[in-house]
Amino acid sequence: MSFTYAQLKQAIEDYTEYSETGFVTNIPLFIRLSEERILKSIQLSLFRKNATATVTPEYQYLRIPSDFLAPFSLSLRTATGNPTVFGDMIFVDFKDPSFVQGYTPNPTTTGVPKYYSQFDVTNFLLAPTPASAYTAELHYFYRPLSITQGTDTETTWLSTNAEMALLYGALIEAYIYMKGEQDVMAMYNTRFQEAMNGVKMLGEAKEVTDEYRTGKVIRAKQ
């Protein structure tokens, strides 16, 4: 089973039996909030990508990609002046913003970055402030395009593979909007968690399959 965008919107109306104009107008919001809830609950490897950027000397901030959801790893390579020659690689640990700010409270203190945190929606904070130029490679979980950004016939990975989690997550948001009955809300929460367990198993199965395919998992000799 899967949902097109039109089918998902209709299912939300059918389950809630509510078609007030303001409610219908907010259905795309309920769906986006459900997508966000799923993506932040389970980090799936198929929603992972790389991005590169230049780290500027004596500047403690690094731009966050617009589709960033959560970090996986950040590495820095020292500049060599030759694009065909790679410098030494440094892995930077992700920490809470308060830890990073406390590690180097004086931003004029420079050195080799050891830690980074999400400072705001557009910037990472590096500590200590880089003393040299680096090429940064960020491996991160990204936010895929929402089904609400397409046509009524649109489908997405979530609407095809996590369709019930997407539906029940949207119904939870709809009932919050409606100030609906608590027992119904509890039921949708339970259904959502059950559906999420299935999504988690699907994601883990895919990761194991990919590891065998790429040779990361080696079968023991019999």
The domain spans of the chain are 5-44+146-213, 46-142
Beta pairing partners, 116: 94, 126
- Per-10-residue mean pLDDT for the chain, 222 residues long? 95 95 97 96 90 94 95 87 62 95 93 95 96 94 95 96 97 95 94 94 59 43 36
Distance, in Å, from the CA atom of 166 to the CA atom of 179, rounded to the nearest integer, reads 20
Confidence (pLDDT) at 82: 52
Instruction: Give the pLDDT of residue 211.
Output: 47
The pTM (predicted TM-score) of the whole model is 0.78
pLDDT at 88: 76
The end-to-end CA distance of the chain, in Å, is 40
Tokens of 73: 């790893």
Whole-angstrom Cα distance, residue 107 to residue 101? 9
